[in-house]
Amino acid sequence: MGGPAEQPDFRSVSHAEDWPLWEVFIRGRRGLSHQHVGSLHAPDPELALQNARDLYTRRGEGVSIWVVRSTEVHASDPDDQGPLFDPPSDKAYRHPTFYTVPEDLQL
């Protein structure tokens, strides 16, 4: 970091490194699960929660917030979508519509 006598070097002063990224999840109201709403930068969990409050709940959108470091989220590969999710498509018997039942019964 430069002393006061040095020329201000914008790059090193300001954005040598961004604060880490966090994913934000909000519970809209009691009885619902938390849902992903977006992401933000913050230096630590406490400030991430406060920033999330300001950024994502300005109109009473939530009653509870989770923040998770983005680097802690592990995702499936979009190119694997076929092999990963296709197998159930030939298992129609997992759906109630597969079965024939008497029409006049509540079932």
Partner 1 sequence: MPPTNSDESRNLAFQQAIDADRTVEPRDWMPERYRSTMIRQIAQHAHSEIIGMQPEGNWITRAPSLRRKAILLAKVQDEAGHGLYLYAAAETLGVGRGELTELLITGRQKYSSIFNYPTQTWADVGAIGWLVDGAAITNQLALTKTSYGPYARAMVRICREESFHQRQGFELLSELSRGTVAQHEMAQDAVNRWWWPALMMFGPPDTESPNTAQSMAWKIKRVSNDELRQRFVDMTVPQAQALALDLPDPQLRWNEARGHYDFGPIDWEEFRQVVGGHGACNAQRIAVRRAADEDGAWVREAARAWEVRQNSRTSAA
Name residues whose C-beta falls within 8 Å of residue 21's C-beta, 6 or more positions apart in sequence.
39, 40, 41, 69, 70, 71
> In the stretch 14-43, what mask flags binding to partner 1 with x, by CB under 8 A?
xx-xxx-x----------------xxxx-x
CA distances from 107 to 5, 24, 80, 93 (A): 82, 41, 37, 16
Q: What is the distance between the alpha carbons of residues 21 and 42, in angstroms, rounded to a whole number? A: 7
- Min dist CB 68 to partner 1, Å, is 14
Nearest-approach distance from CB 91 to partner 1, in angstroms: 24
Residue 60 makes contact with partner 1 by CB under 8 A: no
Candidates 26-34, 54-62, 88-96, 99-107; binding stretch for partner 1 (CB under 8 A): 54-62
Within 64-103, the residues that bind partner 1 by CB under 8 A are 75, 77-79
The answer to whether 36 and 24 are in contact (CB under 8 A) is yes
Question: Hunting for tokens 């961004």 — which residue is that?
Answer: 18
Binding site for partner 1 (CB under 8 A): 1, 8, 10-11, 13-15, 17-19, 21, 38-41, 43-44, 47, 54-55, 58-59, 75, 77-79
